[in-house]
Amino acid sequence: MQFQALLEEIVATLRPELGREGQVASYIPALARVPAAQFGIALRTCDGHEAQAGDSTTPFSIQSISKLFTLTLGMREMGETLWERIGREPSGNPFNSLVQLESEHGVPRNPFINAGAIAVTDRLVSLFDAKAEMLTLLSSLCEEPIRYDEEVAASEAATGFRNVAMANFMKSFGRIDNDVAAVLDAYFHHCAVRMSCAQLARAVGFLCRDGVHPATGQQLLTERQARRVNSLMLTCGTYDAAGEFAFRIGLPCKSGVGGGIVAVVPDRLTLCVWSPALESSGNSLLGMKALEMFTAKTGLSIF
């Protein structure tokens, strides 16, 4: 398949729409300053062929896409015991909602909403330096040094009142072991990783290769674990828009409020799109359109 030509066609078709609809995330001050008129797309096949178009090498804030790698570290380190404190059901609520936590005794619905990722991060903080471990994983997956954007991390720490509330609320149920400030410091840094579409398409390569590391060939997750991550991406990876994503795109996806979305075609390829303007659930508007075009034109879908 001529992926390079297809990605260029998608960029050419969608570029005229840049800046017309959607809003850049404004609740994190450092993200509100990102120019909206940017669009990139990149993919990597399971056998290592890469294609990219538009602003595919521009680094952006990966935000909640980091929850995918937090979960990967949690599953790698803890296996089944990870699920003692985190559910696997879609929440049907916004990613930063607190409402279910009270009636569900501080157990977050899934690892991809903020409360779930904070709970997984707590488990990681008990095991090692979670900030360093995240960069080690990402740098090894991309074969390039990956860093935090300290300005974004500080901006989140200064304004992330809901996350502070959530972490304390879970702690009141005995579901957080560590000091809340230490857990949130790791969580905010994970959200503040800077990566490009090309790097992210490479980094999630293990999800289309049954858990095998795209560069080293080592088993990062078991085949079963990798397929389970994909299933959680499909049902919970795009929050209260997960139904719309399954309907329009039909692939496991994980989004972030920086405007990035990664998607997996199991056994075939991984891709990443990025455009900062978001729809109301916090997913990239043009990113969704690009993925919809990609699956319509290639016929690639899990359904």
Annotated binding site: 64, 114, 156, 163, 187, 239, 257
Rounded to a whole number of angstroms, the minimum distance from the CB of residue 6 to ligand DON is: 26
Reduce the DSSP state of residue 255 to 3 states and report it. Answer: strand
Our CB check for ligand DON shows the closer of 54 and 160 to be 160
Our CB check for ligand DON shows the closer of 264 and 278 to be 278
Which segments of the chain are extended strands (E)? 40-45, 50-54, 60-61, 147-148, 193-195, 253-255, 260-265, 269-274
Q: How large is the angle between the packed helices 114-127 and 66-78, nearest 10 degrees? A: 50
Instruction: Convert residues 208-247 into a mask of x (bound to ligand DON by CB under 6 A) and - (unbound).
Output: ----------------------------------------
Rounded to a whole number of angstroms, the minimum distance from the CB of residue 198 to ligand DON is: 20
One-letter amino acid of 11: V
**Residue 252 · residue 234 · CB < 8 Å:** yes
The answer to the question of residue 111 lying near ligand DON (CB under 6 A) is: no
Radius of gyration of the chain (CA): 18
Long-range contacts of 220-227 (CB under 8 A, 24+ apart): 220/72, 220/76, 221/72, 221/75, 221/76, 225/75, 225/76, 227/266
Total length of the chain: 303
The answer to the question of residue 255 lying near ligand DON (CB under 6 A) is: yes
Rounded to 5 degrees, φ, ψ at 283 are -105, 150
User: 52 to 71, contacts with ligand DON by CB under 6 A?
Assistant: 63-64
Alpha carbon of residue 262 to chain centroid: 7
The answer to the question of residue 253 lying near ligand DON (CB under 6 A) is: no
**Residue 93 · residue 86 · CB < 8 Å:** no
Distance CA 235, CA 36 (A): 28
Rounded to a whole number of angstroms, the minimum distance from the CB of residue 62 to ligand DON is: 8
The answer to the question of residue 256 lying near ligand DON (CB under 6 A) is: yes
Distance CA 190, CA 62 (A): 9
Distance CA 63, CA 207 (A): 19
Rounded to a whole number of angstroms, the minimum distance from the CB of residue 236 to ligand DON is: 12
The one among 282, 286, 288, 295 contacting ligand DON by CB under 6 A: 282
The answer to the question of residue 285 lying near ligand DON (CB under 6 A) is: no
Rounded to a whole number of angstroms, the minimum distance from the CB of residue 13 to ligand DON is: 24
The one among 45, 52, 56, 114 contacting ligand DON by CB under 6 A: 114
Residue stretches of the annotated binding site for substrate? 64, 114, 156, 163, 187, 239, 257
The region of 140-148, 217-225, 255-263, 293-301 touching ligand DON under the rule CB under 6 A is 255-263
| Among the listed residues 151, 147, 217, 160, the one whose alpha carbon sits nearest the alpha carbon of residue 187 | 160
The answer to the question of residue 95 lying near ligand DON (CB under 6 A) is: yes
Distance CA 108, CA 222 (A): 24
Our CB check for ligand DON shows the closer of 64 and 295 to be 64
The answer to the question of residue 156 lying near ligand DON (CB under 6 A) is: yes
The answer to the question of residue 284 lying near ligand DON (CB under 6 A) is: no
The one among 191, 193, 208, 277 contacting ligand DON by CB under 6 A: 191
For ligand DON, the binding residues (CB under 6 A) are 63-64, 95-96, 114, 156, 160, 163, 191, 255-257, 282
